[in-house]
């Protein structure tokens, strides 16, 4: 990974730097400014954005990525890094002379994005709706932005087909299990996923019920609320610094007093794979379904198919 470290520039200097990216626009014979339909220098912000660009065969066009761009692993080795998606540096991005900057919805900060636009950079926000349809639209939007509509259509069709396979298995679920997704522990209390989150979307796609459906975003739940909700399964991300193992998780008094604690049912997976909502999401859903409903015939068949990788998060 190559970190981009830039000295703060004045607004005037930033606008001057934009001259390096003059190739992003061209004036046609009509005098109308037209954007390059097939940009050659792309900065990708957002893990799924980068993953989709690689899947479309646009790796050689990518000149910069952000810290959430962890797949494929090769992206980390040879691409300059512009920082965390919510803390972008306009100076760092402009130093790469991009033709286009693709940012996942929620990227920022707003002042940095505004500076990029004022500098004349073509900035495209990619929608990030945590649904199967949202993944398909994300792929198509990226294809349109970089002039790879045909490849994007093929990838979108493949992803739709794989989502349809897990949806067929989901139809056999007669009694959804109740799931608690824990993002982290906050002062000893689980920080739980509510509606509108990627975790909520994945739980729904896997045919389960999110016990955090009564609130939006991520919130700390009280012990009483967790015990009353009685989750059957706890889901967490497997990541450095987060002790996601049954002994540690169910040492929490509230979690240990739930059906999940009694059965020590804890499901973990790589966070970017699990919550990224990209081309590999159908496999992530299949993984959750196998963990949630191991006895259902169609889920067993799905878990034994090409839809589920041998190693979760691979």
CATH code, domain carrying 30: 3.40.50.1980
Asked whether residue 238 is assigned to any structural domain, the reply reads yes
Decide: helix, strand or coil at residue 307.
coil
Q: Which of 95, 126, 157 is the last residue of a domain?
A: 126
List the beta bridge partners of residue 269: 237
| CA 52-61-43 angle, 5° bins | 70
Tell me what pLDDT residue 232 has.
98
Which range, of 80-84, 213-217, 242-246, 292-296, averages the lowest pLDDT?
242-246
Which range scores top for mean pLDDT: 5-9, 23-27, 160-164, 259-263?
Answer: 259-263
Instruction: Tell me: do 208 and 294 sit in the same domain.
Output: yes
Which pLDDT score, from 0 to 100, does residue 29 have? 32
Same domain, 212 and 114: no
Mean pLDDT, residues 28-43: 62
Domain, as residue range, for 57: 2-126
This prediction has a pTM of 0.85
Are 61 and 117 found together in one domain? yes
Measured distance CA(63)–CA(3) in Å, rounded: 12
Regarding whether 121 and 7 lie in a shared domain, the answer is: yes
Torsion sign over Cα 253, 255, 260, 264: negative
CA distance 170 to 205: 8
For range 58-86, the mean pLDDT: 92
Q: Residue range 213-238: average pLDDT?
A: 96
User: Which of these three, 93, 126, 159, is where a domain ends?
Assistant: 126
Question: Helices 149-170 and 281-292: crossing angle, nearest 10°?
Answer: 10
What does DSSP say about strands 25-27 and 33-35: parallel, antiparallel, or unpaired? antiparallel
Flag whether pLDDT at 17 surpasses 90: no
- Count how many domains the chain has: 2
């Amino acid at each position: 990974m190559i970190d981009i470290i830039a000295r703060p520039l004045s607004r005037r200097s930033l606008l001057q730097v934009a001259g390096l990216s003059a190739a992003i626009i061209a004036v046609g014979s009509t005098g109308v400014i037209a954007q390059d339909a097939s940009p050659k220098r792309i900065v990708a912000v957002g893990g799924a954005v980068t993953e989709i660009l690689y899947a479309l065969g646009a790796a050689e066009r990518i000149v910069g990525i952000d810290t959430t761009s962890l797949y494929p692993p090769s992206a980390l080795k040879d691409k300059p890094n512009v920082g965390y998606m919510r803390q972008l540096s306009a100076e760092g991005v402009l130093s790469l002379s991009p033709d286009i900057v693709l940012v996942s919805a929620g990227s920022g900060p707003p002042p940095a994005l505004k500076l990029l636009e004022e500098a004349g950079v073509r900035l495209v926000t990619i929608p990030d709706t945590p649904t199967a349809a949202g993944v398909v639209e994300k792929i198509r939007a990226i294809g349109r932005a970089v002039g790879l509509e045909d490849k994007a259509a093929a990838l979108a069709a493949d992803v739709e087909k794989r989502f349809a396979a897990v949806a067929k298995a989901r139809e056999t679920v007669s009694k959804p299990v109740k799931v608690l997704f824990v993002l982290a522990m906050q002062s000893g209390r689980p920080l739980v996923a509510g509606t509108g989150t990627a975790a909520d979307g994945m739980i729904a796609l896997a045919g389960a019920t999110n016990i955090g459906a009564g609130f939006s975003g991520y919130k700390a739940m009280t012990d009483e609320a967790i015990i009353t909700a009685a989750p059957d399964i706890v889901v967490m991300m497997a990541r450095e610094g987060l002790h996601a193992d049954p002994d540690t998780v169910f040492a929490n008094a509230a979690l240990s007093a739930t059906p999940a604690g009694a059965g020590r049912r804890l499901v973990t997976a790589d966070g970017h794979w699990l919550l990224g909502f990209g081309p590999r999401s159908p496999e992530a859903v299949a993984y959750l379904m196998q963990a949630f409903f191991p006895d259902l015939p169609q889920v067993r068949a799905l878990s034994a198919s090409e839809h589920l990788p041998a190693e979760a998060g691979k």
